Amino acid sequence: MGFSVGTLASYTKENVQPLLTSAVLGSKTAQILKDAGQIVVGIKSSEKLPIMDTDAFFQSGDACGFNASGTTSFTQRELSVGRLKLNESLCLRDLEAKFLQQALPAGSNYDSMVFAEAYAARKAEKIAAQLETASWQGDTASANGNLNKFDGFIKLITAAGASVVNANSVTYHGSVATDITEANVIGVFDAVYKALPAEIVAKDDVAIMCGMDVFRTYTIKLKNTNLFHYQVNEKADAQFFLPGTQIRVIALQGLNGTTKIVAGRISNFFIGTDLMDEQYEKFKMWYDDNDDLVKTAVHWKYGTQIAFPDQIVKFFV
């Protein structure tokens, strides 16, 4: 695939600078996990995440002696990465009859990309946006080529079955919630909070994550209930503390359209890759003399995993 210029009229002098691009949200999930140190690098195909657990049995200290008790165990969770690439070729001659000709160099040989910096930045934003969705909705069985390169958190949580804490038993006016609406959204989030395992609920990195659509339903309900003291900055980080708690509610684009809520410790979620930010730092663009085309190539690896399914709470409808 290349330039799509069929909707542009043949050249009439127009203002070609600046060429504006629309805003695309990046991979917020990856950035949160990167900030928390939850990115595992150096994975070519898969790697076992070592999970250590231990218990503690108190004994009477009244007498001397040593009586061993307790167990320390190691388990593993496999973090598999998908191998992804992006290739595009562009024929700059397609621009000669359009207003964009003003950006082409003089002469008939075009060996450099016009708007190269803006193009690379925009492509990186598009990659980030697709990775955000795939981080949650990825499914190797999907027919969607942007989602079938690795399994995302939703599929992993679903596959964990009964190990995950299920908050779907919430009721509103005696009926189990089958959707998230302004009428039941507060009850749904309260049910998710109530279902959090006691051993993690007080941890600093516990968060409740949902799509921006569900997040807006919640904030509208807070506004309509006159709970104005719960301030939300949707334009910045789209998060706030669940009313009456110190647990963050975070809106993620990757959960948009799923009607799913996931809660747990941020340190329980992992992203695996071969090289940190490889999809941006190894962005290649060059002119190919053989084909007379400007080509773009990006290769990277990416995957997700959770460590302790029993410390995850889900509300899936």
For 138-167, write each residue's pLDDT tens digit.
999 999 999 999 999 999 999 999 999 999
* Distance from C-alpha of 194 to C-alpha of 183, rounded to nearest angstrom: 19
Residue 157: phi and psi, rounded to 5, are: -65, -40
Task: Assess if residue 100 is contained within a domain.
Answer: yes
For the chain, the farthest-separated pair of C-alpha atoms sits apart, in whole angstroms, at: 96
The reported pLDDT for the residue numbered 11 is 60
Domain that holds residue 34: 28-50+73-316
Residue 81: phi and psi, rounded to 5, are: -110, 145
Residue 236 has pLDDT above 60, yes or no: no
Identity of the residue numbered 163:
S
Residue 273: phi and psi, rounded to 5, are: -155, 175
Residues 6 or more apart whose Cβ sits within 8 Å of residue 4: none
CATH classification of the domain holding 304: 3.90.1690
| Residues above pLDDT 90, as percent of the chain | 56
Task: Assess if residue 247 is contained within a domain.
Answer: yes
Residue 69 has pLDDT above 60, yes or no: yes
Residue 302 has pLDDT above 90, yes or no: yes
Using omega within 30 degrees of 0 as the cis cutoff, is the peptide bond preceding 18 cis? Answer: yes
Task: Assess if residue 120 is contained within a domain.
Answer: yes
**Do β-strands 82-90 and 72-80 pair in parallel, antiparallel, or remain unpaired?**
unpaired
The reported pLDDT for the residue numbered 128 is 92
* Distance from C-alpha of 247 to C-alpha of 266, rounded to nearest angstrom: 11
Task: Assess if residue 13 is contained within a domain.
Answer: no
The reported pLDDT for the residue numbered 268 is 96
| Residues above pLDDT 70, as percent of the chain | 89
Task: Assess if residue 19 is contained within a domain.
Answer: no
How many structural domains does the chain have?
1
Task: Assess if residue 154 is contained within a domain.
Answer: yes
Mean pLDDT of the chain: 87
Task: Assess if residue 206 is contained within a domain.
Answer: yes
Q: How far is CA 193 from the centre of its chain?
A: 22
pLDDT in tens, 6-60: 777 776 666 655 666 555 657 899 999 999 999 999 999 999 988 888 888 888 8
Where residue 175 falls among pLDDT bands split at 50, 70, 90?
Answer: low
Q: Judge whether 272 and 125 are in contact, CB under 8 Å.
A: no
Where residue 279 falls among pLDDT bands split at 50, 70, 90?
Answer: confident
Model pTM?
0.87
Residues 6 or more apart whose Cβ sits within 8 Å of residue 31: none
The reported pLDDT for the residue numbered 103 is 82
Task: Assess if residue 14 is contained within a domain.
Answer: no
